[in-house]
Amino acid sequence: MVWVIPSLNPDTYDRNVLQFEKTQRYGMRRKNQHPVCSKSILYMDNGVDLNRNFPVCFAIDKEGSSPDVCSEIYRGPKPLSEPETQAIPAFLRLLPFPPTLALSLHAFGRSVLHPFSCQSLASTLNSTMLHLFKHGTRSILSNIPHKYTTGQAWEIPGLYSVNGDAADYLFHAHSILSFNVELPPDYPPKNEYLSFWPPRQDHVQEANLLLWNALKLSGCDLVIENNQNQRYEKPKSKMNLREDEKHENENRNRHDNALVFRITVFISRFVFTIERGLSCLFESSSSMGFRIVPMESSLASRFDRASVSSSVQSSILFAGF
């Protein structure tokens, strides 16, 4: 199942497009349309940077966001202060089951970044999750002809630690494997205006391939069997995500403990799904004691399709900023 939010900042998008109708040049507004900056006449100074407004590392420093209401990276007065950012947790509550994977789409710069963009949380990312993120990144970039920057934002030259980031929030609070994808063209740009509003034909094929790779990562229909062709059952979680949400407020101020708790639930609840997705990257290995097999193969006929499908539910969320 694929969920698409075409734009998380629709008011600003509309304003930028309306400017084109008047001037034949698209606008360059970045923030939302919240009228917070009264000391500047520049239209771009108003608003809240939505990708600094999520409740992970919010306001932890002045490098990754700003308290200045006229700053390009103004974070807002409090986490989830804006209707646009409030819409994300509200939307997730409506879904029949949580997304397996989420891509937050931005322009521009050709990069695939994974949590944590907030450097203060980087040490809490255990080796298992780091391994999954790195393999997931390679899968998303499979067959892409251009070079992309990858990793965590703070470790990349020219970038910096970010606080209040959407992908960090989706991973930390909702246990969703999340990536920030900066679409083509490259950075630094030859023309900044054309970098934000490139001719569609120039980059649409590459962008489509990125999204197709993400779909494959999220939704490979697979079953797992051992070397004796015996099916592995889906690991049972001791606690489902709804129960996890009850504990979220209790753990909100205990970053390390809360993070470990959520990752534990993530691994137990979604280990089948993640193995399923990342199997696109691994060769079958008899030395591992199991192999991961496409459901569309002849193995599918050995199992009841309905029971298999119910055990491998997954979905992907695409959100445009």
Q: What is the DSSP string of 194-225?
A: HHHS--HHHHHHHHHHHHHHHHHHHH--EEEE
Query: What gap in Å lies between CA 138 and CA 150, rounded to an integer?
Result: 9
CATH class held by domain 1-321: alpha beta
Residue 89 amino acid letter:
P
Question: Please, what is the average pLDDT of the chain?
Answer: 70
Q: Helix or strand or coil: residue 96?
A: coil
- Residue range 221-248, pLDDT digits in tens: 433 334 444 443 333 322 232 333 333 4
Catalytic residue among 82, 84, 182, 275: 182
In this structure, of 101-105, 173-177, 234-238, the range with the lowest mean pLDDT score is 234-238
pLDDT tens for each residue of 70-88: 998 999 999 999 999 999 9
Of residues 85, 95, 90, 94, the one with CA closest to residue 1: 95
Instruction: Note if the bond before 188 is cis, omega within 30 degrees.
Output: yes
pTM of the model: 0.69
Q: Where are the domains of the chain?
A: 1-321
Q: How far is residue 50 from each of residues 9, 112, 152, 261, measured CA to CA in Å? A: 8, 19, 19, 27
Confidence of residue 187 (pLDDT cuts 50, 70, 90): confident
Task: Look up 192 and say whether it is catalytic.
Answer: no
Q: Which of 82, 45, 78, 72 has its CA nearest to residue 59?
A: 78
Phi, psi values for residue 106, rounded to 5°: -135, 170
* Nearest alpha-carbon partner for 217 in 190, 180, 178, 246: 178
- pLDDT, residue 195, reads 66
